[in-house]
């Protein structure tokens, strides 16, 4: 038995310089796992709370007083027992007492410790029954930032290169190439401007929404020609962020929900988008369904704030036909057990899963193992910045381990 002999939590910083937590779990054998939890900016209304009301200090106090003693002696092989204990100790539906980030850090650190103890890579410990670790996700690489992740950029939050290859070396290189060429093009267009990068390492430039999609689309076509890979444009609109009093309020236009459906359909047709995340408000299951009916055969329609990795919300989306894909973020729902339950439901219903980072990240690579262990259709982890590259590099290592 892989008994937990020590459980600790401490404060670290995320890539935005905000405090978060990391957990260290040690087993009887001496095997140890450490994991930090990320934080979002455009958080969904139905996500679990990242921290209790008193923030990281309260999360740490509560952990030391009540959680650590209750984890000692548990078997790290029994994920359900560890994650179940976290829920019991929390006692709220939203990790309001312990904090979802504590739950994520402990859940992941325990899995890492167990993987080390039995001498296998983390992805194998997480692997769903049908997964052999040889299917690699497309890179969902955020190249231009807007919305809450950028100051002075477009309203749309993320302009994404969706790069596919059976070999991660190729898909990662293609996404990085798109990012680099967009930078070159921006320098050419704005020679006097000091360009910046947003929270997720994508460029920030004074572009309108359509100008930005146009630029992304041109560059994806260039990289497609160069590499002969499938490299297509995608967007995360994070539309809940600019849905105010029943209308989608862009700088250039204001649309009612029917207008927004039409606008997004137009974007898919005009730019050949292959990836479309959160094009509507987080409660708009019906509008998602209308869009999935019309363009779902040509593009991934992905629910992020809509589902918040929550199996009950996903079940509603499946019933209504709201999307053909779901974004998977561990700390939206708390534990790996909750996360994998949502993945299993998506798999059973034929929906694609896309494993995702948060805008405030930690420089760790475990997310790549979640993607490979669940045979995710995509890994959304940004393109540049140490905390993003950590995940891409880990994916490369996993690819090399299988000869890809």
Angle at 237 between CA 285 and CA 39, to 5 degrees: 95
Nearest residue (CB) to ligand 2PG, 113 versus 381: 381
* Residues 306, 285 contacting (CB under 8 angstroms): yes
For the CB of residue 387, give the shortest distance to ligand 2PG in the complex, in Å. Answer: 12
28 tagged catalytic: no
Nearest residue (CB) to Mg ion, 35 versus 306: 306
Nearest residue (CB) to Mg ion, 240 versus 337: 240
Binding mask 259-288 for Mg ion (x = CB under 5 A): ------------------xx----------
As given in the structure block, the two tokens for residue 294 are: 């019309």
Stretch of residues binding Mg ion (CB under 5 A), selected from 32-40, 170-178, 207-215, 304-312: 304-312
Using the CB atoms, write b or e for 213-234: b if 16+ within 10 Å.
bebbbebbeebbeebebebbbb
For the CB of residue 160, give the shortest distance to ligand 2PG in the complex, in Å. Answer: 9
Query: What gap in Å lies between CA 291 and CA 332, rounded to an integer?
Result: 24
| Residue choice 47, 236, 361, 387 for contact with Mg ion (CB under 5 A) | 236
309 binds, among ligand 2PG, Mg ion, none (CB under 5 to 8 A by kind): none
Nearest residue (CB) to ligand 2PG, 42 versus 342: 42
Residue 133: Cβ-neighbour burial (10 angstroms; 0-12, 13-18, 19+): middle
Name the closest residue to Mg ion (Cβ).
304
Query: What gap in Å lies between CA 129 and CA 122, rounded to an integer?
Result: 15
For the CB of residue 236, give the shortest distance to Mg ion in the complex, in Å. Answer: 4
Nearest residue (CB) to ligand 2PG, 313 versus 357: 357
For the CB of residue 278, give the shortest distance to Mg ion in the complex, in Å. Answer: 5
Angle at 66 between CA 64 and CA 72, to 5 degrees: 80
Name the closest residue to ligand 2PG (Cβ).
40
- Closest listed residue to residue 366, CA positions, set 333, 337, 329: 329
Active-site residue (options: 329, 361, 387, 394): 329
> Per DSSP, what are the bridge partners of residue 22?
10, 36
For the CB of residue 3, give the shortest distance to ligand 2PG in the complex, in Å. Answer: 35
359 binds, among ligand 2PG, Mg ion, none (CB under 5 to 8 A by kind): ligand 2PG
User: In which region does residue 302 sit, left (phi positive, over 0), alpha (psi from -120 to 50) or beta (all else)?
Assistant: beta
In sequence order, what DSSP letters do the residues of 140-169 get, joined into one string? EEEEEE-GGG-SSS-SSSEEEEEEE-SSHH
Query: What gap in Å lies between CA 94 and CA 137, rounded to an integer?
Result: 30
For the CB of residue 302, give the shortest distance to Mg ion in the complex, in Å. Answer: 8
Q: What is the largest CA-CA distance in the chain?
A: 63
| Residue choice 47, 304, 347, 394 for contact with Mg ion (CB under 5 A) | 304
Q: Which helix (H) or strand (E) holds 365?
A: none
Give the interface size with Mg ion as a residue count (CB under 5 A): 4
Q: How far is CA 77 from CA 67, 88, 107, 109, in A?
A: 18, 19, 11, 12
Q: Which residues bind ligand 2PG (CB under 6 A)?
A: 40-43, 158, 200, 236, 238, 304, 356-359
Stretch of residues binding Mg ion (CB under 5 A), selected from 18-26, 45-53, 231-239, 389-397: 231-239
Active-site residue (options: 200, 241, 277, 394): 200
* Residues 17, 361 contacting (CB under 8 angstroms): no
For the CB of residue 332, give the shortest distance to Mg ion in the complex, in Å. Answer: 10
41 binds, among ligand 2PG, Mg ion, none (CB under 5 to 8 A by kind): ligand 2PG
Nearest residue (CB) to Mg ion, 47 versus 236: 236
200 tagged catalytic: yes
380 φ, ψ (degrees, to nearest 5): -100, 105
Nearest residue (CB) to ligand 2PG, 90 versus 277: 277
As given in the structure block, the two tokens for residue 163 are: 């790069």
SS3 68: helix
- Closest listed residue to residue 359, CA positions, set 132, 142, 127: 142
335 binds, among ligand 2PG, Mg ion, none (CB under 5 to 8 A by kind): none
The set of catalytic residues is 200, 329
Contacting residues toward Mg ion, per CB under 5 A? 236, 277-278, 304
């Amino acid at each position: 038995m892989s008994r937990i002999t020590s459980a600790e939590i401490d404060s670290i910083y995320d890539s935005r310089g905000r405090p978060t937590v990391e957990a260290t779990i040690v087993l009887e054998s001496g095997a140890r796992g450490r994991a930090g939890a990320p934080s979002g900016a455009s958080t969904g209304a139905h996500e679990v709370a990242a921290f209790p009301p008193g923030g990281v200090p309260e999360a740490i106090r509560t952990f030391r007083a009540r959680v650590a003693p209750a984890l000692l002696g548990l078997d790290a092989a029994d994920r359900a027992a560890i994650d179940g204990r976290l829920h019991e100790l929390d006692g709220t539906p939203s990790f309001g007492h312990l904090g979802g980030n504590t739950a994520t850090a402990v859940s992941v650190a325990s899995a890492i410790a167990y993987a080390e103890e039995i001498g296998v890579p983390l992805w194998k410990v997480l692997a769903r029954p049908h997964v052999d670790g040889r299917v690699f996700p497309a890179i969902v690489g955020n190249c231009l930032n807007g919305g809450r992740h950028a100051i002075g950029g477009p309203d749309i939050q993320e302009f994404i290169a969706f790069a596919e290859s059976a070999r991660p070396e190729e898909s990662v290189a293609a996404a990085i190439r798109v990012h680099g060429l967009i930078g070159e093009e921006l320098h050419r267009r704005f020679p006097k401007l000091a360009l910046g990068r947003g929270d997720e390492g994508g460029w920030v430039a004074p572009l309108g929404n359509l100008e930005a999609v146009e630029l992304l689309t041109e560059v994806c076509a260039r990289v497609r020609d160069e590499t002969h890979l499938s490299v297509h444009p995608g967007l995360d609109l994070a539309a809940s962020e600019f849905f105010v009093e029943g209308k989608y309020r862009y700088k250039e236009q204001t649309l009612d929900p029917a207008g927004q459906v039409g606008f997004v359909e137009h974007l898919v047709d005009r730019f050949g988008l292959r990836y479309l995340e959160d094009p509507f408000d987080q409660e708009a299951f019906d509008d998602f369904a209308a869009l999935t009916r019309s363009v779902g055969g040509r593009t991934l329609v992905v629910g992020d704030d809509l589902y918040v990795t929550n199996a009950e919300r996903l079940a509603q989306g499946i019933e209504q036909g709201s999307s053909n894909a779901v974004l998977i973020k561990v700390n939206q729902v708390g534990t790996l057990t909750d996360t994998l339950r949502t993945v299993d439901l998506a798999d059973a219903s034929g929906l694609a899963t896309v494993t995702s980072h948060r805008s405030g990240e930690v420089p760790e690579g475990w997310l790549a193992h979640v993607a490979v262990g669940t045979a995710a259709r995509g890994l959304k982890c940004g393109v540049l910045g140490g905390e993003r590259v950590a995940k891409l590099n880990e994916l490369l290592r996993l690819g090399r381990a299988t000869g890809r």
